[in-house]
């Protein structure tokens, strides 16, 4: 539940912090990243508080699939024909907000490996 989520994403879900939303439904929201790393940088977050992908289980299978479909939808709506979808899990992987989230990044050429 978002009410017990102390992260910045919990605050966004509760309306305590404004974020420019581009999509919203009963399962998730998508909004523009406040510190974009590319011309298009969107975040898709579930309303359900999971600290990371490592906390998901078979009970969230439909939710996880939904998040990926929403990521593709918002990417296309942002005019992207190609984009990168990233889920960082754990601090060593670069996760800084411990609420599961998908980055949708595009609008420029992206190199590999990412870093």
Active site residues: 101
Other Cβ atoms less than 10 A from the Cβ of 59: the count is 7
Largest pairwise CA distance in the chain: 38
Inter-CA distances, 61 with 22, 53, 56, 66, 112, Å? 23, 11, 8, 9, 28
**Backbone CA torsion sign across 24, 29, 31, 37:** negative
| β-pair partners for 40 | 106
* Contact by Cβ (8 Å): 34, 96: no
């Amino acid at each position: 539940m978002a009410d017990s989520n102390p992260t910045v994403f919990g605050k966004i879900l509760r309306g305590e912090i404004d974020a420019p939303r581009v999509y919203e439904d009963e399962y998730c929201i998508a909004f523009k990243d406040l510190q974009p790393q590319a011309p298009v940088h969107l975040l898709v977050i579930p309303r359900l508080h999971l600290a990371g992908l490592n906390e998901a289980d078979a009970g969230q299978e439909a939710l996880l699939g939904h998040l990926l479909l929403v990521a593709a939808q918002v990417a296309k709506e942002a005019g992207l024909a190609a984009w990168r979808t990233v889920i960082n899990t754990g601090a060593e992987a670069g996760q800084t907000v411990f609420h599961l989230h998908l980055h949708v990044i595009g609008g420029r050429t992206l190199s590999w490996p990412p870093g």
